[in-house]
A and B are shown apart, each in its own frame.
Chain A
Amino acid sequence: MTTLPTPAGSTAHTVPDGTNYAAQVVDAVKVYGAGATEVRALDGVSVGFPVGQFTAIMGPSGSGKSTLMHCAAGLDTLTSGSAFIADTELSALDDRRLTLLRRERVGFVFQAFNLLPTLTVAENISLPLDLAGQRADPDWLESLIDVVGLGGRLRHRPSELSGGQQQRVAVARALASRPDVVFADEPTGNLDSRSGEEVLGLLGRAVRTMARTVVMVTHDPVAAAHADEVIMLADGRLVDRMPNPTAERVLDRLKAFDRSTEAARAVAS
């Protein structure tokens, strides 16, 4: 795998406590628009996603959770602050290098439309490797396919699969190039609870048995409960972190959080 150049003096991937971060943002600010219509989607967020951990990002609509994910994953650029994938600072990369970084070191699972309709299941899974012109490690692919449980459907087209199956293929695709980190954006948003459960189980297994790192944006407390840690955003700021979450605790926290923001807004107005 190509090693991307590390900007000189970058030490951000390890903080004093010695934790290794697969992805990290420091003082991240993202501003959309200007003047009266200016929106600060991220307002000075610093957060790291430790290697081998399943992190969920939560927060109400407009809290900046998707923006955080996009910036951390190199799909979008920060207005100020810096974002890292492992020890690579993203702002130093041009479009081509960013693209290469995404394809080699980052995996993606989106809410919908994760698969190319013209490619088969097998081709979709190996797409990032094919784009890189690399031969997939067959053992690795086979084990992936075993894990997602779609061995019998490798030659099917996405349109012949159910929504849950499609998302499982997307997870396999995201893991195919053994990325440093997999970003999942509401991966269960379009699924019924049973299919959602399967996809979340899959992401959990990727972390626990395959030693991958997963960052997931979700608004569903049940989904968030699959994560090792939940971080909460509101109005573009990091407002809370909750290790070892359960659905109830997350829900309670969100409710309290809603009340407090309402109170804050009431005070402000």
Chain B
Amino acid sequence: MSGNRAAARISLASLRAHKRRFVGTFFAVLLGVAFLGGTLVMGDTLRASFDTMFGNATSGTDAVVRSADAITTPDDGAGSREPVATSLARDLKRVDGVAAAEPSIQGAGQLVGKDGDAVGGQGPPTLAGNWITDEELGAYQLADGRAPRAPGEAVINRGAAKTGDLDIGDSTVLRTPQPVKIKIVGIATFGGEDGMGQVTFTGLTQEDAERYLTAKPGQAASIQVRAGPDVSQDELVKRLEPVLPGGIEAITGQESAEENLDQISGAFLTMFTALLLVFAGVALLVATFSIHNTFAIVVAQRTRENALLRALGAARRQVMAGALTEAAVVGVAASLAGLLGGIGLAAGLQALFRAVGFPFPEGDLVISALSLLLPLVVGVVVCMGSALAPALRAGRTAPLAALRETAVDHSGASRARTLTGAVLGAVGVGVTVLGVLADTPSVMLTAIGSVLTLAAFVVVGPVASSLAVRALSGPLGSLRGVTGALAGRNALRSPKRTAATATALMIGVSVVSLFTVFAASLKATMNETVSRTFAGDVAVSVPAFGGGGSGLSPGLAPALDKLPQVDTALGLGRGVAKVDGSGRQLTVTDPAALSGVLNLGDVEGNFTGLGKSGIAVSASEAAKHHWRLGSTTQLTFTDGQRQSFTVRAVYEEKDLAGEYIITREAWAPHRAQDADSLVAVSFKDDEAASDGKEAVEKVAMNWGNPEVQTRDEWAESSAGGIDMMLTLVYALLALAVLIALLGIANTLTLAVHERTRELGLLRAVGQTQAQLRAMVRWESVLVAAFGTLGGLGLGGFLGWALVKAAVNSGDGAFALPPQQLAVVGLVGVAAGALAAWRPARRAARLDVLRAIATE
């Protein structure tokens, strides 16, 4: 025991003496842990505050009565339910123990702000409904003004009022999607907040709501019930159940709130935190390489010291324990600091979100035991795990090494390593490609292959680094003379070290380029889809992403059709039905006119004359269900009605047209709120096309001013959401790259320390400070360039594999965006120069005499 104490004492003393060496390690761990801790704390905090907000908002609702069945399509997790009759509310009011019961009518309604622009619509839903007059029952409470009483009067939530610069007394338009003129008479809050996140809400009178938001008056999405005194929620549900008609259910307010929470915040938060955790993982992985490298170098530099300890009688175990103690001390200190940083980060983000107008609900930070323990444990484990191999090596130091010159590890390009790396790489690439080229592309296989490929890169790194640095420093030598040559030689000195340093950056860059390639490919796929299947000239569409907006008015397409320039203007709406038992989206349109604006590929059968009982299906769905022309299938609509449809046409291109097409007549009896999601327009001839877009825009102005885009513009904007995601991903990955840079800087600092005498000699024989700084900088740039190039290559390859394996069974377009990748490359290399800034300055400030006199 006392032996270990001595080892601990020595390692603590050496930590104190060489604090600077561990600055990089410290910050790498700190940043990773802070990110992880911050993510966990923020996730918990947001979840808790959403919880409170929903609790507050729905505390007055004791039971919700609604239809029991929901039709869920793959695209919409919440599903659509059959409406209930508003008259049911009257019956429920009579039940003993019911204090209030009101129908809740819900639909989409987008407000137009004071400046004429729509409020929200990119992302969170824009809702409209009837204003529930019972003060305790409604989720929204009046904060100012009064409830709507006359037709055209409305209450809007405070968040929407702020965004749209609207106030009580203002008149504006609500797109449902038919433009409805409304006058604002009240401002509402949701659970005490400005709104439910970014969701906007407009409350109308019940008659207005029935008129504009439902297909048929007398229908509501659900009926909200408040219990009288001394009646519990469960008791209330029990009392309601006997009076409910068939197919209608009652759930407690509690259950309803949980369901809503789950749908709106739960799924979003889970995805959000999962995404952040992935990036925390990437950051920590990068940190592992940097930390490992630091410890490996420190152990190598301390060979003589350790050998002396061994010669004086220290056991292997003691020397090893000494090295591990250092790692543990650094790990614990950095993790604790990181934890504090993480909590600070979460608090800062909470404030930031509010500052930029993202109204996450207020609430105290929620710090669970898990979010304290996990980052701490991960930080210490990463730190000690990274130091394990170097510590073992330290323990194996031969006592005789004390007598030899300090040896820097020059090994690396061994035959076994090359061979292992090559085999691993071949297997990795093979499995990846197999995952892509298999009959049914497998993301799983591709993922396994990717991990193997990455491992191969790590193994083969030292070999590759020699080759790459040699190739890169060739031109550098002729460009930058002896300074460049020296930088190249320095980078070549310890291939293992160069590789480990570069690997950290490589992982960061490869993830960045993987996302870049994947996003570019998705965009290309969308672009290709539009250009392949859109035969029209302009498209009028709702925002391409999120659940916002209210769609296009069904009146728009007929209005556009009357323009002299227009040949065909066709509206495409969306419907939902169960097909053979599973929920599916339907395209509701005039199929006869479809071929004028969409390219449907090979078509069997005929689109004309689908009538009320005909349906057109995509070739792939037809194959799946073994349908042929004339087959019949049963559709169940959200109103519970079933109807047989006969397959009248089978078409190939489904990207814009969807899997199923029915006529408006067939849909009409079952429709909910009426809206088109796209109006496709084709012009009569080229002459008409020249002023056609303007004419269409003029008409569209009267229908809520939706976006009118040419084919190219439309394709471009379809991909707008991808760019936004990509920006977010870049911001998150900046952390991993930053940690990699710390690693490079740290390695350089240690190398400069190691080469003190050499630097002194160079300065003595006439290297200027500027030349010395340039030498260190170029070495860093070479290492960074190697890492960046490797990352670009790996990221590009994995991006290709992912695109091919994941997107629509291999028919996704693969695109390498040269400009963006060039920017990523430049940033990587420039970052290398930046990392060298401090080490280079320190090296240049070396006192020549002391450098020569060292040892």
Partner-B contacts on A (CB < 8 A) = 70, 75-76, 95-96, 99-100, 102-104, 108, 110, 113-119, 123, 127-128, 130-133, 173
Contact = CB atoms under 8 A, between A and B. Distances in A.
A21 B390 CA distance: 56
A103 B763 CA distance: 9
Contacts of A123: 482, 485
B393 interface: no
Given A110-B852, A127-B482, A118 B765 contact: no
Contacts of A133: 481
B761 A110 contact: yes
B848 A75 contact: yes
A99 B747 CA distance: 27
Interface string B750-765: 0000000110011111
Contacts of A95: 769
A131 B765 CA distance: 9
Top 3 closest pairs, chain A to chain B, by CB: A103-B766, A118-B489, A130-B482
A161 to B, nearest CB: 15
A112 B492 CA distance: 24
A202 to B, nearest CB: 18
B222 interface: no
A179 to B, nearest CB: 10
Interface residues of B, number: 25
- Majority secondary structure, B binding face: helix
B301 interface: no
A131 B771 contact: yes
Contacts of B849: 70, 75-76
Interface of B: 481-483, 485-486, 489-490, 492-493, 757-758, 761-771, 848-849, 852
Nearest to B490: A118
A133 to B, nearest CB: 6
Given A114-B761, A117-B758, A118-B486, A131 B766 contact: yes
A130 B485 CA distance: 10
Contacts of B765: 102-103, 108, 127-128, 131, 173
A99 B846 CA distance: 13
B766 A99 contact: yes
A64 B708 CA distance: 88
B762 A96 contact: no
27 contacts: A75-B848, A75-B849, A75-B852, A95-B769, A96-B769, A96-B770, A102-B765, A102-B766, A103-B766, A110-B761, A110-B852, A113-B757, A113-B758, A113-B852, A115-B761, A118-B486, A118-B492, A119-B486, A119-B489, A127-B762, A128-B766, A130-B481, A130-B482, A130-B485, A131-B765, A131-B766, A131-B768
A196 to B, nearest CB: 20
Nearest to A177: B766
A119 B485 CA distance: 9
A127 B493 CA distance: 19
B764 A108 contact: yes
Given A110-B852, A130-B481, A102 B764 contact: yes
B380 to A, nearest CB: 38
B852 A104 contact: no
Contacts of B764: 75, 102, 108, 110
A95 B763 CA distance: 10
Contacts of A115: 761
A95 B764 CA distance: 11
Contacts of A113: 757-758, 761, 852
A70 B483 CA distance: 25
**Most A-side CB within 10 Å, residue of B481, B764, B771, B852:** B764
A116 B482 CA distance: 12
**Most A-side CB within 10 Å, residue of B482, B765, B767:** B765
Nearest to A176: B765
A114 B758 CA distance: 8
B852 A131 contact: no
B72 to A, nearest CB: 67
